[in-house]
Amino acid sequence: MLDSKIPAGTLEDKWTDYKGHCKLVNPANKRKLEIIIVGTGLAGASAAAALGELGYKVKAFCFQDSPRRAHSIAAQGGINAAKNYQNDGDSVFRLFYDTVKGGDYRAREGNVHRLAEVSVNIIDQCVAQGVPFAREYGGLLNNRSFGGTQVKRTFYAAGQTGQQLLIGAYQALERQVALGNVQMYNRHEMLDIVMVDDKARGIICRNLVNGELERHFGHAVLLCTGGYGNVFYLSTNAMGSNVTAAWKAHKKGAFFGNPCFTQIHPTCIPVSGDHQSKLTLMSESLRNDGRIWVPKKQGDTRKPNDIPEEERDYYLERRYPAFGNLVPRDVASRAAKERCDAGYGVGTTKQAVYLDFKYNLINKYGKTEAGKLGIENPDLETLVRLGKEVVKEEYGNLFDMYEKITGENPYEVPMRIYPAVHYTMGGLWVDYELMTNVKGLYCLGEANFSDHGANRLGASALMQGLADGYFVIPYTIGNYLADEIATKPIPTSHEAFEQTEKAVRDRINTLMNIKGKQTVESFHKRLGKIMWEKCGMARHAAGLQEAISEIQALKKEFWSDLRIPGSINEMNPELDKAGRVADFIELGELMCKDALARNESCGGHFREESQTEEGEAKRNDEQYAYVAAWEFKGESNWELHKEVLNFEIAKPTQRSYK
Amino acid sequence: MEQYMMNLTLKVWRQKNSADRGGFETYPVKNISSEMSFLEMIDVLNEELIIQGKDPIAFDHDCREGICGMCSMYINGRPHGPWQANTVCQLHMRAYQNGDTIVVEPWRANAFPVIKDLVVDRSAFDRIIQAGGYISVNTGNAVDANAVPVEKDKADAAFAAASCIGCGACVAACKNSSALLFVSAKVSHLALLPQGGPERKTRALNMVAQMDKEGFGSCTNTGACEAVCPKEISIENIARLNREYMMAGAASAK
């Protein structure tokens, strides 16, 4: 039933063969075909631009006031590409292999290899668009290394890589708007998919300025709506990031793949109190130059700079000498939790570890710069001064951001960091063509499940978003639309549009008419607490079962005691949030069920029942080398379908970063 | 940093919709921690308003880490509040003391009409980008990324200009509501790179023409925009835009 449509042939020829044989749509027919794109982050904006350039009629939607606000903008560290500009042994194969291994053997080989292949085109395209990547003095592009790999393949623009890439895609999108190929709808939120004869044929969305519902037809619908990390309430996602579009598609028949695969990022600014509305990431690239440590003594209350070198436990370097501070994110996060749970945490809450730049600032950068200037036997003060200048250029904006939030200067005092929810590898199930199991409904970028397995490597999210949008969908969508050229646009007076809009309207009315006592925010916080405690960094069967019943109870309470102020036909952010939280509650239940059904540890999914003697995650390939694709059957009722994963080239081994 | 608690008085601009006249409302807020962000303080107030059966304050915000450019509050007469090189979402309450009164308004400019309370319509910025804020290169056309070396100094200057987040604080701060810092940042970003060369002249002319059409005012070099810019975009970019514009105008026979 689940056909992943991976092309036959050897791994390295699959994509080339596919492109050589997929159906094409001639330019005259492209102008008659309409495509709806929901979400305009890296995946959505790049898809809208690329499809507009090809001549399709595109309508793009975002809930923010401009496509330039999408949360891709907050990605900091960089974007991977197998360019091997550094001559350090990188290749398409190595990027493929690292990604499959980093994903703990729960991703599809065919998809990942394609991703590695097109990675090189992305960098070319972005540079041509004017993305100002970091450069060397010779004028060529610079690279940095990133967690989980041993080569320097990450392209970056200081700590603002996501911003620069998104602005590049946004500008390409706005160019197509100017040319009349794309029609842009800002401050619009998709609230349902319209199905005609078992194909996705349009959407119902709400204009967030005046509250009116709108109908839009498309020969195909693309969801590029990002991840669902906000199910945990506190995450590094933007406040508006949500699962609603993907969830509506799920309820219309699209399978949800690996919902429990969540990435907890090791380096975030710790929670300071109950008022906290979101968490801020400190780029993983900081682990290149920062050393992570806790005091060797439990409950040590001394200031970090007063703790001498020999009384510090650089636990990542101790446990994983080969990769040290550059182990993958899931490994680094669990190691931090382990130290804090054992009583070695620092800061007021004791839920934090130090990320310390002093050593590399002095020894790596300070000494190199002194050497360049010909300063012999430089004193410490000179080294610190010179080192600071380099660190400022590499990470200046991140250091400033840290200081604004915490009031502490990370050039002087080590940063305090703790893991936080950052990315969701799970998402709508898609085949090789990025189509969900619903015909004509595609899903791109973080919103789909496909390329990162159970753990995403750093600097791979930007790569996947742009790969899907610029270089995959322009080919694969033609293979579907070639058979749709005779389909005339369906008028939005069609009964399918009528009925879907009515269902959306009824739900909004129901939400508004609860007129209870508790705010949306308070429900969201409670959901987040359940998810973080019982479906977070470590999970076990009893906890997950408790979480499921707690979430079901919370859902009842939500639908009987919610209070939404204001009215429907106006700008009403509380109503917008209420719809999203209602969907998060349902998703939370499915995530727990998925985590419960997967009784193995893999990547970001750590089941306490499945670990090695040293406390490392233990996979169970015999029973669980599959994608869990969940079909919605009714309230609190899902059916599990399994897509078995075959590894022909990257043979699964127990990951070791020691 | 030592954490402390405070009680404050907020005077906030309330305006039901674009047709409404609007006016200030005064709200006391209690037990605010110095560790909260400014927007978290507004969250606390909004939760109270909802419980009291009142309409919460509408405001734009999204990433809450100073990069998306969505948040936009004019606080005690200054866009994004008192801190240098900062967005309001990154402003923290340790900037204030117990007993302070804080006045919060939306961006004020004809080209940014108020939608509701503190939310304004900045779609004029998108239309200025549509007029030429891009390099016309279709997907798939690109040569190898290292085929064209770019001088590091120029690449760095282009990056500095490209770090603009499009929040509109420059417009809000300017007595003329000029958008020249925003426009010049984009023109500079693309003019400094060899890839932006072919469209350099039309870009400057078309973006400035669109800016004028949107109803932004003229630049009189007061420098207020640079002073409040959360990304410290320099007014040197405005000087560069002026040169670009003059050269393009002189060369244009169209």
pLDDT in tens, A293-338: 999 999 999 999 999 999 999 999 999 998 899 888 888 999 999 9
Residues A291 and A393 both lie in one domain: yes
A596 three-class SS: helix
Mutate to test the interface with B, among A42, A76, A129, A392 (most CBs of B within 10 A): A129
**A163 is a domain residue:** no
Active-site residue, A114 included = no
The whole-number pLDDT of residue A288 equals 85
Residues B130 and B246 both lie in one domain: yes
Choose one of A403, A421, A439: the last residue of a domain.
A421
pLDDT tens digits for A39-98? 999 999 999 999 999 999 999 999 999 999 999 999 988 999 999 999 999 999 999 999
User: Does B47 contact A273 at a Cβ distance shorter than 8 Å?
Assistant: no
The whole-number pLDDT of residue B254 equals 53
**What interface predicted TM-score (ipTM) does this complex get?**
0.98
Given A50, A65, A571, which is nearest B70 (Cβ)?
A65
Return the CATH number at A295.
3.90.700.10
Report the residue of chain A nearest B112, measured CA to CA: A65
Please say if the pLDDT value at position A613 is more than 90: no
B211 CB-contact burial (10 Å; exposed 0-12 / middle 13-18 / buried 19+): buried
A35 three-class SS: strand
Per residue, what are the HEC states of A234-264?
A: CCCCCCCCCCHHHHHHHHCCCCEECCCCEEE
Please say if the pLDDT value at position A177 is more than 70: yes
Kindly state the tokens that stand for B17.
């919709």
Per mean pLDDT, which range of A135-149, A255-269, B72-86 is the poorest? A135-149
**B64 is a domain residue:** yes
Q: How many domains does chain B have?
A: 2
Given A121, A404, A571, which is nearest B58 (Cβ)?
A571
Residues B171 and B93 both lie in one domain: no
Q: Between the CA of residue A230 and those of A71, A272, A276, A598, A631, what are the distances in Å?
A: 12, 18, 13, 22, 22
Residues A502 and A599 both lie in one domain: yes
CA distance B159 to chain A (A): 5
Tens-digit pLDDT profile for chain B (254 aa)? 689 999 999 999 999 999 999 999 999 999 999 999 999 999 999 999 999 999 999 999 999 999 999 999 999 999 999 999 999 999 999 999 999 999 999 999 999 999 999 999 999 999 999 999 999 999 998 999 999 999 999 999 999 999 999 999 999 999 999 999 999 999 999 999 999 999 999 999 999 999 999 999 999 999 999 999 999 999 999 999 999 999 998 876 55
Residues A411 and A531 both lie in one domain: no
**A26 is a domain residue:** no
Supply the DSSP symbol for B111: T
Please say if the pLDDT value at position A148 is more than 70: no
Return the CATH number at B238.
1.10.1060.10
Report the residue of chain B nearest A129, measured CA to CA: B135
Residues B93 and B15 both lie in one domain: yes
Choose one of B53, B73, B105: the last residue of a domain.
B105
**A458 is a domain residue:** no
Longest CA–CA span in chain B (Å) reads 65
The whole-number pLDDT of residue A180 equals 98
Per mean pLDDT, which range of A23-37, A110-124, A274-288 is the poorest? A274-288
**Chain B partners within 8 Å of A282 (Cβ):** none
**A562 is a domain residue:** yes
Tell me the mean pLDDT in the region A593-600: 98
Choose one of B105, B136, B157: the last residue of a domain.
B105
Tell me the mean pLDDT in the region A148-175: 94
**B110 is a domain residue:** no
**A530 is a domain residue:** yes
Domain extent, residue A520, equals 495-624
Residues 6+ apart with CB under 8 A from A308: none
**A607 is a domain residue:** yes
Tell me the mean pLDDT in the region A271-289: 89
Please say if the pLDDT value at position A159 is more than 90: no
Residues B69 and B135 both lie in one domain: no
Residues B145 and B69 both lie in one domain: no
Q: Between the CA of residue A376 and those of A368, A373, A379, A381, A389, what are the distances in Å?
A: 11, 9, 9, 14, 19
Number of cross-chain residue pairs from A and B with Cβ atoms under 8 Å apart: 221
Return the CATH number at B88.
3.10.20.30
Cβ atoms of residues A331 and A457 within 8 Å: no
The whole-number pLDDT of residue A614 equals 83
User: Does B189 contact A71 at a Cβ distance shorter than 8 Å?
Assistant: no
Residues B224 and B128 both lie in one domain: yes
Residues B128 and B12 both lie in one domain: no
Helices first, then strands: H and E counts in chain B: 8, 7
CA distance A336 to chain B (A): 23
pLDDT tens digits for A30-42? 999 999 999 999 9
Given B130, B151, B195, which is nearest A130 (Cβ)?
B195
**B225 is a domain residue:** yes
Cβ atoms of residues A415 and A282 within 8 Å: yes
Residues A413 and A547 both lie in one domain: no
Residues A277 and A386 both lie in one domain: yes
A586 three-class SS: helix
The whole-number pLDDT of residue B128 equals 98
Please say if the pLDDT value at position A455 is more than 90: yes
Residues A537 and A392 both lie in one domain: no
C-alpha A390, offset from chain centre: 29
The whole-number pLDDT of residue A396 equals 81
Among A168-177, A264-273, A607-616, the range of highest mean pLDDT: A168-177
Residues B130 and B240 both lie in one domain: yes
> Does the global pTM surpass 0.95?
yes
End-to-end, the C-alpha distance of chain A in Å comes to: 41
pLDDT tens digits for A484-530? 999 999 999 999 999 999 999 999 999 999 999 999 999 999 999 99
Per residue, what are the HEC states of A104-163?
A: CCCCCHHHHHHHHHHHHHHHHHHHHHCCCCCECCCCCECCECCCCCCCCCEECCCCCHHH
Residue A430 banded pLDDT, cuts 50, 70, 90: very high
Residues B130 and B239 both lie in one domain: yes
Buried b (16+ CB within 10 A) or exposed e, A160-171: bbbbbbbbbbbb
Residues A500 and A406 both lie in one domain: no
Please say if the pLDDT value at position A346 is more than 80: yes
Per mean pLDDT, which range of A43-47, A129-133, A158-162, A197-201 is the poorest? A158-162
**Chain A partners within 8 Å of B33 (Cβ):** 273, 275
**B36 is a domain residue:** yes
The whole-number pLDDT of residue A397 equals 80
Choose one of A392, A421, A450: the last residue of a domain.
A421
Choose one of A421, A441, A476: the last residue of a domain.
A421
User: Does A132 contact B53 at a Cβ distance shorter than 8 Å?
Assistant: no
**B219 is a domain residue:** yes
The whole-number pLDDT of residue A1 equals 73
The whole-number pLDDT of residue A395 equals 82
Kindly state the tokens that stand for A251.
């309820």
The whole-number pLDDT of residue A583 equals 98
**B235 is a domain residue:** yes
**B20 is a domain residue:** yes
Residues A500 and A596 both lie in one domain: yes
Report the residue of chain A nearest B231, measured CA to CA: A397
Residues B185 and B221 both lie in one domain: yes
Domain extent, residue B174, equals 123-251
Return the CATH number at A611.
1.20.58.100
Read off the amino acid at residue B55.
D
The whole-number pLDDT of residue B1 equals 61
**B113 is a domain residue:** no
Mutate to test the interface with A, among B34, B139, B143 (most CBs of A within 10 A): B139
Q: How many domains does chain A have?
A: 2
Residues 28-57 in B contacting A (C-alpha not used; CB under 8 Å)? 33, 35-37, 39-40, 43-44, 47, 49-51, 53-56
